[in-house]
Amino acid sequence: MGHEALLLLLMVSAPVLGVVLLVGLLVSLFQAITQIQEATLAFVPKLIAAMAVFAFAGPWMLTMLVEYIRRTIESIPSIVN
């Protein structure tokens, strides 16, 4: 059960982490090329990208989590007996 939970956590968090990592890399590259060292320039695009991923993949993420919780709750009687 714990192994399945960790895999689910990895699957659900991967899209957000991947997009934020890519956006952070692109912003850092842009900052290095233009020599603009503004802290908010790195933060705001990552925040916008994360919100966009949540808007796009949020329903899928929620469905995956609800299904896992449903299976876990349904398996309680077999674990107790």
Q: How far is CA 81 from CA 17, 55, 57, 77, in A?
A: 39, 41, 37, 6
Beta strands in the chain (DSSP E): none
Nearest 10 degrees: CA dihedral of 78, 80, 73, 9? -90
Q: Which residues contact 12 (CB under 8 A, 6 or more apart)?
A: 61, 64, 65
**Residue 2, token pair as written in the block:** 């714990």
The pTM score is: 0.79
- What's the average model confidence in pLDDT over 27-51? 88
- What's the average model confidence in pLDDT over 32-40? 84
pLDDT digits 0-9 by tens, 5-34: 999 999 999 999 999 999 999 999 998 898
